[in-house]
């Protein structure tokens, strides 16, 4: 099973993706972690994502991601994509690449968390957990980028019949139970 898990920053995507990957025994791809690792040895990438809080150009990101993910999806177990794709263009690249490998996206789960809750969660992160892009100006920019680029994907997923919405403003275990019910029902 191949699942896209998406939501605004601090929506709990990572937590839910890890829990689900563990339950299903499938590969977990966390885009944020992948990009931070990529930025460590690549100053232009670091400047774009960490200093400016912007998205990498789709093709630049996709080439790097494809190299890592290619070996992981070849076993046929499936993958949970956390925070990817972030744009309609990235989804097109992913679908084309999956199609070449006779793979499809089975579902997209959206953790619905409002802007107030997102800001509250990011602001409440402990000092040692905060990243450069967790500061107020970058938080606003991240939310703006999410609303402009990622939210339109919801319409695409809805039209394809693969979108499932989950209220992300509840305790972790309640959210996880809903996500598992959705996956098991598919």
The ranges assigned to domains in the chain are: 2-185
Q: Is the omega angle on the peptide bond into residue 85 within 30 degrees of 0, that is, cis?
A: yes
Tell me the C-alpha distance between 122 and 119, whole Å: 5
Q: What is the DSSP letter of 47?
A: I
- Residue 131: pLDDT band (50, 70, 90) is low
Residue-level pLDDT at 96? 93
Q: Which of the listed ranges 49-53, 67-71, 133-137, 156-160 does the model predict with the highest average pLDDT?
A: 156-160
This prediction's pTM: 0.81
Residue-level pLDDT at 128? 45
Question: Among 156, 113, 117, 129, which residue's Cα sits nearest to residue 8?
Answer: 113
- Residue 179: pLDDT band (50, 70, 90) is very high
Residue with the bigger pLDDT between 184 and 119: it is 184
Please tell me the CATH superfamily of domain 2-185, with its number. P-loop containing nucleotide triphosphate hydrolases (3.40.50.300)
Q: Is the pLDDT assigned to residue 67 strictly greater than 80?
A: no
**Residue 33: count of CB within 10 angstroms of its CB:** 13
């Amino acid at each position: 099973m191949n699942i896209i898990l998406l939501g605004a920053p601090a929506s709990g995507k990572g937590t839910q993706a890890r829990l689900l990957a563990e339950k299903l025994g499938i590969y977990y791809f966390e885009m944020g972690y992948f990009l931070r690792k990529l930025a460590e040895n690549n100053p232009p990438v670091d400047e774009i994502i960490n200093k400016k809080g912007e998205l990498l150009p789709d093709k630049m990101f996709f080439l790097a991601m494809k190299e890592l993910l290619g070996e992981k999806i070849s076993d046929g177990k499936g993958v949970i994509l956390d925070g990817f794709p972030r744009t309609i263009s990235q989804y097109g690249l992913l679908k084309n690449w999956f199609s070449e490998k006779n793979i499809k996206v089975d579902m997209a789960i959206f953790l619905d968390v409002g802007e107030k809750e997102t800001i509250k969660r990011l602001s409440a992160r402990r000092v040692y957990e905060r990243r450069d892009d967790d500061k107020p100006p970058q938080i606003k920019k991240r939310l703006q980028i999410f609303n402009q680029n990622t939210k339109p994907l919801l319409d695409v997923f809805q039209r394809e019949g693969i979108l499932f919405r989950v209220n992300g403003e509840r305790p972790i275990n309640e959210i996880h139970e809903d996500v598992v019910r959705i996956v098991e029902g598919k």
